[in-house]
Amino acid sequence: MDSKYLSAGLCLLSTIALTCLTCLAQDETAAPAAPSRPHPDISRLGKFPDWSRLDAFQRTMTRTEFVYLLDHCYTNSPSKYEGLIDIHEDRAEIVRQSNYSAAGKYTLYFKSSPEDPGDADTYWRDTYQMDDLPEGSAKVLDGIRIAVDPGHIGGEWVRWDDRHFKIGSHSTEVREGELTLKVAKILERDLTTLGAEVFLTRSKNEPVTTDRADDMVEAARAHILRKKKIPSKNYLAYTAGRFFALSSEMRARAELVNNEFQPDLLICLHFNATPWGRTAYFNSANHMHLLVNGCYTNGEVKEDDVRFDMLYRLLQRMYYPELEMSEAVAQAMRTETSLPAFKGYTNGSGKRVCDDPYIYARNLLGNRLFMCPVVFLEPYCMNNRTVYYRIQAGEYEGMKEFGGRMRKNIFQEYADGITNGLVDYFEARR
Ligand SMILES: [Zn+2]
């Protein structure tokens, strides 16, 4: 519990089957509240969904495509949504509240005739909806709205989420939230030069949420009690810290992205690490992977808000651009960094959706809440010796030698991999 512990690929943003106090039904018209209606099964700080938001997607997707996306990307077998999403010939029946059958089901009709409506409106644009580039334009990203999310928080806030460590007494503490911000600022400069309109979810080592750990104590206590555990002083403080730095922070960023920036895509920046115990030490492992949103577990599909988010993403057909952008970025990152592919997710939390060994589908709060295609990166293990010394070297100009190889500074290298991948993706499509 009190872990100075980093699991590979786990940036501590994953959804866990939890409930909270703050979720009351917004969907009262559809399901008259009965006195015995239990507190719904909702993810941390989530809200009970307004199922009528799926009305925009009525008859916009065929049964074949709906089932394909559910089985190929969003879950790893029909058993994960059994009893929660019933597939009929012409419609899907979706349970509104998983622990209260009296709340009924939402009926989504499949597209079955050419007269049925086309795609529903989305705030993000696919490449076919974008203007053509002016002849001879060197600005391949002209007019594209790109949001960048520097994962985690830096500064004094690192103590809330364990993504910081130091090896030896003469080095500077490595803080993931500060590393991602450096990369984000380089990306902001370089993508803007190429014509993109760039939005950073944060530009300082400060939280986006106005909540603080102290504000989260009651929500944390309710959560612990619901898990039938004892809210000891330490456990309560730890959980409240997580509610602040992970749940509340991610939700505040998602609000910015979905309600204000409304970008065509979002880049989520992280650095990976291999697990350590009480004291950090070097590990020879160093690798990279990218995530598309998918592979929801049964426990996650059971949570009403998570089931809604999954379907809201699925019905927008975000999977296709998300995967193709991730493939383009993975290829350019591999060229730029020479990192091998991470081999993991043997516990069913992630799955392969394509032949690219760098890409997995996985459901994280950090890629589910954003309602636009997300490219989620996990390159470099921060506690690999070479990576650690490259981080210590900072943002130098030109090249420096590490392990017998001349390298750009690690932040520029990371940003260049992304920029080159996006240029390849959009150049081929505009
Ligand atoms: Zn991370």
This prediction's pTM: 0.90
Query: What are the C-alpha distances in Å from 288 to residues 209, 300, 330, 339, 381?
Result: 29, 26, 9, 6, 8
Average pLDDT of the chain to the nearest whole number? 90
Please work out, in degrees rounded to the nearest 5, the angle formed at the alpha carbon of residue 46 by the alpha carbons of 42 and 51: 75
CA of 378 to the centre of ligand 1 (A): 7
Q: What are the tokens at 39? A: 């507190």
CA of 148 to the centre of ligand 1 (A): 14
8-state DSSP, 364? B
Q: Would the pLDDT of 33 be above 80?
A: no
- Distance from C-alpha of 338 to C-alpha of 336, rounded to nearest angstrom: 6
Kindly report, residue by residue over 305-335, the tens digit of the pLDDT: 999 999 999 999 999 999 999 999 999 999 9
Give me the mean pLDDT over the 136-155 stretch: 94
CA of 41 to the centre of ligand 1 (A): 27
CA of 178 to the centre of ligand 1 (A): 11
For the chain, helix, strand, coil in percent to 5 are 40, 15, 50
Residues forming a β-bridge with 95: 105
Q: Which amino acid is at 419?
A: T
Cβ atoms of 207 and 159 within 8 Å: the answer is no
Alpha helices in 103-227 (DSSP H): 176-193, 217-226
Q: Which amino acid is at 207?
A: P
Q: Which amino acid is at 26?
A: Q
pLDDT at 348: 84
CA of 67 to the centre of ligand 1 (A): 32
- Distance from C-alpha of 127 to C-alpha of 122, rounded to nearest angstrom: 13
CA of 176 to the centre of ligand 1 (A): 7
pLDDT band, residue 12 (cuts 50/70/90): very low
| Structural Rg of the chain based on CA atoms | 22
CA of 114 to the centre of ligand 1 (A): 44
CA of 177 to the centre of ligand 1 (A): 8
- Distance from C-alpha of 284 to C-alpha of 288, rounded to nearest angstrom: 14
Residues forming a β-bridge with 174: 165
- Distance from C-alpha of 12 to C-alpha of 2, rounded to nearest angstrom: 13
CA of 13 to the centre of ligand 1 (A): 8
Residue 231, number of CB atoms within 10 A of its CB: 18
pLDDT band, residue 344 (cuts 50/70/90): confident
CA of 152 to the centre of ligand 1 (A): 6
Kindly report, residue by residue over 194-239, the tens digit of the pLDDT: 999 999 999 999 999 999 999 999 999 998 988 889 999 999 999 9
pLDDT at 14: 37
CA of 379 to the centre of ligand 1 (A): 10
CA of 403 to the centre of ligand 1 (A): 25
- Distance from C-alpha of 1 to C-alpha of 238, rounded to nearest angstrom: 9
Residues forming a β-bridge with 193: none
Domains and CATH numbers, the chain: 127-207+253-427 (3.40.630.40)
Query: What are the C-alpha distances in Å from 414 to residues 186, 336, 339, 394?
Result: 9, 8, 11, 13
CA of 163 to the centre of ligand 1 (A): 7
pLDDT at 93: 98
- Distance from C-alpha of 246 to C-alpha of 267, rounded to nearest angstrom: 18
Residue 42, number of CB atoms within 10 A of its CB: 24
pLDDT band, residue 410 (cuts 50/70/90): very high
Residues forming a β-bridge with 330: none
pLDDT above 70 coverage of the chain, percent: 92
CA of 82 to the centre of ligand 1 (A): 32
CA of 272 to the centre of ligand 1 (A): 6
Q: Would the pLDDT of 19 be above 80?
A: no
Kindly report, residue by residue over 248-284, the tens digit of the pLDDT: 999 999 999 999 999 999 999 999 999 887 788 899 9
pLDDT band, residue 393 (cuts 50/70/90): very high
pLDDT at 11: 43
Q: Which of 24-33, 50-59, 146-155, 345-354 has the weakest average pLDDT?
A: 24-33
Residue whose entry in the numeric block shows the structure tokens 């104590």:
217
CA of 409 to the centre of ligand 1 (A): 20
CA of 185 to the centre of ligand 1 (A): 17
